[in-house]
Amino acid sequence: MNMTAWMKKGWSWLRTHMDPRLFMMLMAIVVGIFGGLAAVLLHHMIEMVAGLFSGYRQRAWSFLLPAMGAAAAVYFMEKIVREGGGHGVPEVIYAVSRHGGLIRLRSTFSRIFASSMTIGSGGSAGPEAPVVMSGAAIGSNIGRILGLNERQRVVLVGCGAASAIGSIFNAPVAGMVFTMEVLLGQWRSSHLLPITLAAVTGTQLSRRLHGNQIPFESAIFGIQMHDTLASAGLALITAVVAIGLIRGMRRMHGLSLFLASRCHLSPWTRAGIGGLFVGMIGIFFPVVLGEGYYAVREMIAGEFSSGIIFVLVILLAKMLATTFTLGWGGIGGIFAPSLVMGAMAGLLYHRILVFLFPAVGWVNEGCFALLGMAGLLAGVLQAPLTAIFLIFEITGGYEVVLPLMVVSAFSTILCRYGEPHSIYLKDLVARDELLRPGTDGRVLLDLRISEVMEKDCIPVQRNMLLRNFIHLLKNSRRNYFPVEDAATGRFVGMVHLDDVRPYLLDQMLYDTVLMEQLMHRNVMVVHPDDELGDILETMDRLGLFSMPVVADHRFMGMISKATLLDHYRKELRVQTSDE
């Protein structure tokens, strides 16, 4: 026996004999290593591209850099790897909810390259969503190559994403929570445990390679009760900014598509034009360029330039730059810009507070910058837990946790009034494609017609006599009888027992009535490839309880609500259980 066959046998033994939970833990570690590596790679790529361009920053034409970066990134995505643009996160959620977490192999690296070009050249976007996509794609492809089932593959997708987030932020809990709250949308121990392990692995790996750095180290603030109370007011500002950002992105996207269709622009020229605007904003406010973490550090340290109006203008400029980058088709995430804008919103709120109540001893503005980050993140992602844990971890201070929770909770609620769905789910919900497990849509999507079809209906011929039909009735179990043409076998109509009942005991009619005379001709039929959701809608609309399935004019079986309920319950139980 050669080596491959031997390994194949061993693998198959492992799959069937090893405890599946333990097996998933092992796989989680493997995926965690690769996810962590992807995040480290992206980190280095952005630094490298930024270093490449840094020599030209002082030139007069440097405002063209973001345009070049964005255009090159989209060109790379469109022409070289042939993938659609987008944040990455909605694509992962879609893959998880619709295709059992199946993601293309090229997604493991495509967005890393594209987003490093965008961000390194100065585009206002973040590296997180691309790295989530890469991590998820790594998990998905490891699962696919090893022949795992869909549920296991979804867990590995989550593992990849959690390890990537954990690695890039040095925040394992945030990675785990983000995955559960945003990507998978469900909390199950069978998911949680491997994902935890993957987040730990990814984070440990990045600490090993980068050192254990806390991205936004903060001093001790000394928060008092009035600060916690005031943070509720901050939530109002962050919610307004979050709604503004989400709507701004959508408007910008619509505008760019409109102009592109009018002027016949290719996607990469479109992204280039967006980048050009970003570059021009960057001439006046260089702080809006890139992921913007440097500015965040300044704000948290309380070293940011003073003035209420200045902060407001910078905030609007950053929002504009972000919408120009991402709304015009640039490749990158919304995570980092949200953090930057959140810090600015916090700063703005603090300066307003100090202006209105100068006598109160407020905590320093760095603390409010932190809270603003959490508030905006919670609003934009509709994920309060992710916001709380992320800020808490990337600042390394447990002290802010109380106002952090207040601002995240209020911001999420307030933002929901303006925008009921997060920026990631908006498009999916609009296309009616957000299908979380255990929901009606998901159950109906999974059930195929071939599974719920009743095949024990006895077909009758159109010229059959009533006498013969009654003889046949004795052996039938169903009330419906499809009528077929004897010569061609084509489906011509349906006979229901109710149609025959009045003549059942009338012996006179036995040899005079043909089935053709009893049948319904214009019967609503369904095709085996129809979606069950649509079929049920038709049944409800017409008040039907069952419909024949017909393909190529041949009768295949019946679909009935009663049988469907039976399968529906089984499916629901199986989908919602944690085994």
Partner 1 sequence: MKRLRLQETAAGLDLPVHTLERWIRQGRIPVVLVDNFCVFREEALARWARQHHMPFRIREKDAASQGVFCSEGLGAALQRGAVMHLLDCKDREDLLWQMVRAVPFLPPAMEGLLLEKLLERESMVSTGVGRGIALPHPRVPLDNFPEKSCIITAFPHEPVAYGAMDGQPVFVLFLLLARDVKAHLHLLSRLSHCLQDERVYALLMEKPEKSALLEMLAAKEKALGEKQVNRP
Q: Are 530 and 559 in contact (CB under 8 A)?
A: no
Shorter beta-carbon distance to partner 1: residue 352 or 458: 458
Shorter beta-carbon distance to partner 1: residue 139 or 272: 139
- Spatial CA neighbour of 120 closest among 169, 70, 160, 162: 70
CB of 448 to partner 1, least distance (A): 6
Q: Are 96 and 69 in contact (CB under 8 A)?
A: no
Shorter beta-carbon distance to partner 1: residue 12 or 224: 12
Shorter beta-carbon distance to partner 1: residue 183 or 405: 183
End-to-end, the C-alpha distance of the chain in Å comes to: 37
- Spatial CA neighbour of 457 closest among 567, 562, 558: 558
Total count of residues recorded for the chain: 579
CB of 566 to partner 1, least distance (A): 10
Shorter beta-carbon distance to partner 1: residue 20 or 86: 20
- CA 114 to chain centroid, in Å, comes to 20
Shorter beta-carbon distance to partner 1: residue 266 or 575: 575
CB of 576 to partner 1, least distance (A): 10
CB of 472 to partner 1, least distance (A): 11
Q: Are 183 and 161 in contact (CB under 8 A)?
A: yes
- A 10 A CB-CB count for 60 gives 7
CB of 328 to partner 1, least distance (A): 39
Shorter beta-carbon distance to partner 1: residue 24 or 515: 24
CB of 322 to partner 1, least distance (A): 38
CB of 156 to partner 1, least distance (A): 11
CB of 148 to partner 1, least distance (A): 7
Q: What is the largest CA-CA distance in the chain?
A: 104
* Dihedral angle sign, alpha carbons of residues 275, 280, 281, 284: positive
Q: Are 110 and 137 in contact (CB under 8 A)?
A: no
CB of 22 to partner 1, least distance (A): 14
Q: How many Å apart are CA 370 and CA 297, to the nearest integer? A: 10
Q: Are 443 and 97 in contact (CB under 8 A)?
A: no
Q: How many Å apart are CA 422 and CA 129, to the nearest integer? A: 14
Tell me 78's DSSP state.
Answer: I
Token duo for residue 249 = 């992105």
Residue written as token pair 């929570």: 177
Residues that bind partner 1 (CB under 8 A): 12, 15-17, 20, 100, 148-153, 446-448, 450-452, 475, 567, 570, 573-575, 577, 579
Q: Are 131 and 110 in contact (CB under 8 A)?
A: no
Shorter beta-carbon distance to partner 1: residue 47 or 566: 566
Shorter beta-carbon distance to partner 1: residue 247 or 573: 573
